[in-house]
Amino acid sequence: MHADVIVIGGGVAGLTLAAELAAAARVLVLEAEAAVGYHSSGRSAALYEPTYGKPAVRELSIASGEWYHASGLLSPRGLMLLGRDTERDVFEHDLAAMGMERLPLDEAFARVPVLRRDTVTLAGYHGNAWDIDTDRLLQDSVRRIRAAGGTVRLNARVTGMARAADAWQVTVAQERLSAPVLVNAAGAWVNVVAALAGVAGPRFQPYRRSMARLPAPGGQDVSGWPMIFGVGETWYAKPDAGALIVSPAEEHPMDPHDAWADDMVLAEGLARYEAFVTEPVTRVLSNWAGLRTFAPDRVLVIGPDPVAPGFYWQAGQGGYGFQTAPAAARLGADLIIGRAPQVDAGLVAAVSPARFA
């Protein structure tokens, strides 16, 4: 089978890019698992919060705002920061970094009635944060690809790649596929795919992040609660379908694998959360983990490899994959098709793989 572009990876990066490309090119997406978004994309507590991340990340997030607000994929959430007197310096840093306003404590307790009044002495808030319907975004991308004549293949693990005769030859099982353009959007497996292709590139590092799903504290209606962060991002809690997701917000370096939560790390994170609320954790409904994969500078990597012809990167999304997806996909598609990017040249350079050459 021959395509114009082969995209390796059926997570948010690969699917949104392929959906942007599909109207202008014959696209083939190869996903190793039995479902799209199986790994990190399907395990994300995704929030559209455009002030989160380094400057280039924030630029991509802000550039995604118009698309998201017109998409119907967002619902209001808001973001609250909590701290104690002993954490004042870190609290002030986070408050400024996230563009929050100081929140009167009575208002914080009204918004989240289970907060401990003898613990919470510092609070900040902003409303510029929305839940993302992640599953709908992934499935809408698949529909766009197929409607334009593209293909999304599941259970399609790549076992070999080589550049020959101005095209990439890609082996899946016993089948040989080819395309002049190959996109590495393999998430935590981005280094593995690059090695198969014989491409050096930057060294990406996956980090595990664990999550627990808890019953709503004290039977409260949590649907209107904001997402809550402990200072220094040492834990967070987020309402989800009548329950509460709590994470220790850890970053433990890992090799790429089907991640699972570490019981001790999860327990420590739940204890940090418990210190701020009146309701103890007595039951965990479920738990899981995902791998957040970063480039060395923690900025996304988008564009052509400076050495390997026809090899493109759509990688290093870290914890920002969903919030940057619309603009990152447009930029990746612009660079592959040869259109003038819709973002400024400084941002194109900031995310270019050439910065590691």
The candidate with the shortest Cα–Cα distance to 332, out of 297, 298, 295, 305, is 305
The answer to whether residue 141 scores a pLDDT higher than 90 is: yes
Verify that 287 and 224 share a domain, yes or no.
Answer: yes
Q: In terms of C-beta distances under 8 Å and separation of at least 24 residues, what long-range contacts does 166-169 make, across chains too?
A: 166/309, 166/310, 167/2, 167/310, 168/6, 168/197, 168/310, 168/311
At position 119, the amino acid (one-letter code) is T
In terms of residues, how long is the chain?
357
Mean local confidence (pLDDT), 68-82: 97
Dist CA 280 CA 269 (whole Å): 13
Mean local confidence (pLDDT), 65-75: 97
Verify that 157 and 180 share a domain, yes or no.
Answer: yes
Identify the pLDDT of residue 289. Answer: 97
What is this structure's pTM? 0.96
Verify that 118 and 219 share a domain, yes or no.
Answer: yes
Mean local confidence (pLDDT), 16-34: 97
Instruction: Examine residue 55 and state whether it is found in any structural domain, yes or no.
Output: no
pLDDT in tens, 307-322: 999 999 999 999 999 9
Identify the pLDDT of residue 329. Answer: 98
Verify that 289 and 303 share a domain, yes or no.
Answer: no
What is the percent of the chain with per-residue pLDDT over 90, rounded to a whole number? 96
The answer to whether residue 46 scores a pLDDT higher than 90 is: no
Instruction: Examine residue 180 and state whether it is found in any structural domain, yes or no.
Output: yes
Instruction: Examine residue 190 and state whether it is found in any structural domain, yes or no.
Output: yes
Instruction: Examine residue 166 and state whether it is found in any structural domain, yes or no.
Output: yes
Verify that 142 and 276 share a domain, yes or no.
Answer: no
Q: How confident is the model at residue 17 (pLDDT cuts 50, 70, 90)?
A: very high
Identify the pLDDT of residue 120. Answer: 98
Q: How confident is the model at residue 357 (pLDDT cuts 50, 70, 90)?
A: confident
Verify that 192 and 334 share a domain, yes or no.
Answer: yes
The candidate with the shortest Cα–Cα distance to 199, out of 93, 308, 105, 330, is 308
The answer to whether residue 51 scores a pLDDT higher than 90 is: no
Which range marks the domain in which residue 233 is found? 79-126+206-293
Query: Considering the chain, what is the average pLDDT of its residues?
Result: 96
Number of folded domains that form the chain: 2
The answer to whether residue 142 scores a pLDDT higher than 90 is: yes
Identify the pLDDT of residue 48. Answer: 96
The answer to whether residue 165 scores a pLDDT higher than 90 is: no
Identify the pLDDT of residue 45. Answer: 79
Verify that 221 and 115 share a domain, yes or no.
Answer: yes
Q: In terms of C-beta distances under 8 Å and separation of at least 24 residues, what long-range contacts does 136-144 make, across chains too?
A: 136/73, 137/12, 137/16, 137/71, 137/73, 137/322, 137/325, 138/12, 138/15, 138/36, 138/37, 138/41, 138/42, 139/36, 140/19, 141/15, 141/16, 141/18, 141/19, 142/15, 142/19, 142/36, 144/19, 144/22
Verify that 174 and 216 share a domain, yes or no.
Answer: no
Instruction: Examine residue 335 and state whether it is found in any structural domain, yes or no.
Output: yes
Q: Residue 57 — φ and ψ, nearest 5°?
A: -65, -45
Q: How confident is the model at residue 267 (pLDDT cuts 50, 70, 90)?
A: very high
The candidate with the shortest Cα–Cα distance to 36, out of 8, 5, 12, is 12
Mean local confidence (pLDDT), 249-257: 97
Verify that 230 and 286 share a domain, yes or no.
Answer: yes
Verify that 265 and 235 share a domain, yes or no.
Answer: yes
Verify that 145 and 280 share a domain, yes or no.
Answer: no
Verify that 196 and 162 share a domain, yes or no.
Answer: yes
Instruction: Examine residue 62 and state whether it is found in any structural domain, yes or no.
Output: no
Final residue of a domain: which of 241, 263, 293? 293
Final residue of a domain: which of 239, 264, 293? 293
The answer to whether residue 236 scores a pLDDT higher than 90 is: yes
Q: What is the CATH number of the domain that holds 268?
A: 3.30.9.10
Name residue, tokens 């839940």.
131
Instruction: Examine residue 72 and state whether it is found in any structural domain, yes or no.
Output: no
Instruction: Examine residue 63 and state whether it is found in any structural domain, yes or no.
Output: no
Q: What is the CATH number of the domain that holds 316?
A: 3.50.50.60
pLDDT in tens, 124-137: 999 999 999 999 99
